[in-house]
Amino acid sequence: MKTYLDEKGISIPFLLLAVGQAIGSLLAGWFIGTWGYVPCFILYGLVGMLATFISPKKSKMSS
């Protein structure tokens, strides 16, 4: 059974990637203006390191 996401393929993840980059850039500019460069890069570095621990759910193969 096909779902809406199956038919759209990879386009939705790429759209969300672009949205995330736009929002992240806006937040980075605001953080840099408010707190400065060093705290902003430390914050973004920590978020990036935390993202390495996130992985997709493993699906069980049915036979």
Residue 62: inside a domain: no
CA-wise closest residue to 28 among 40, 18, 45:
40
Residue 56: inside a domain: no
Split into its structural domains, the chain has a count of: 1
What's the pTM? 0.59
Q: Can you read off the two tokens belonging to residue 62? A: 């049915």
Residue 44: inside a domain: yes
Name the residue type at position 59: S
Residue 58: inside a domain: no
Domain that holds residue 10: 4-51
Residue 57: inside a domain: no
d(CA 10, CA 63): 26
Q: Are 40 and 32 in contact (CB under 8 A)?
A: yes
Chain mean pLDDT for the chain: 84
d(CA 20, CA 24): 6
> Poorest-confidence range of 29-33, 34-38, 42-46, 51-55?
51-55
